[in-house]
Amino acid sequence: MDNKTPASEEVIVENVSENSPDVTQVATDTPYAGFWKRAIAYLIDALLLTFVLVLLGFVFAMFGVVDFNAEGEMVQNANVMDLVSILVSWGYFAFMESSNKQATFGKMALGIQVTDYADQRISLVRATVRFFSKYLSAILLLIGFIMIAFTARKQGLHDFIASTLVVNKP
């Protein structure tokens, strides 16, 4: 039996290797954003979202969609605000991270962005998977977030699930 590779297979291998990004090359050349940088970016985003959601809560209260008692606790239609909170947060993170900026305002402030393994912009679907996977990261005693400090490419569980990286902008 001949160990010689057919010429057609050599051409295919050459074309694939020439046109495909080398994931190991991306992994060694890209400066990954660490745990604390990502945490501060998230705090900025959380403050911004809290401000927006409080404003929405006031608007909903003015129109009677939700109601508060004397202590300021929501007593009517709290589930409406929960749903609005999830939808606004999803929209913010998914659309911003899949945009040309590849980052939320918090990430932009710290000079970091979300990419796929080929250092490309992620799709809205991938950003959506990443967003909802964060709930799993949180449910598991925050282990999914703590992983960021200890993995080689600074990935959390949600990054592994969505096949994403958070990198310092070049």
- The per-residue pLDDT for range 150-169, each reduced to its tens digit, is 999 999 999 999 999 999 99
Domain that residue 131 falls in: 31-168
Residue 44 domain flag:
yes
Q: How far is CA 127 from CA 11, 62, 72, 74, 169, in A?
A: 35, 33, 34, 31, 18
* pTM of the shown model: 0.79
Which tens digits make up the pLDDT trace of 96-110? 999 999 999 999 999
Residue 55 domain flag:
yes
Residue 80 domain flag:
yes
Residue 2 domain flag:
no
Residue 1 domain flag:
no
Residue 152 domain flag:
yes
Residue 98 domain flag:
yes
Residue 84 domain flag:
yes
Provide the pLDDT for residue 63. Answer: 87
Number of structural domains the chain divides into: 1
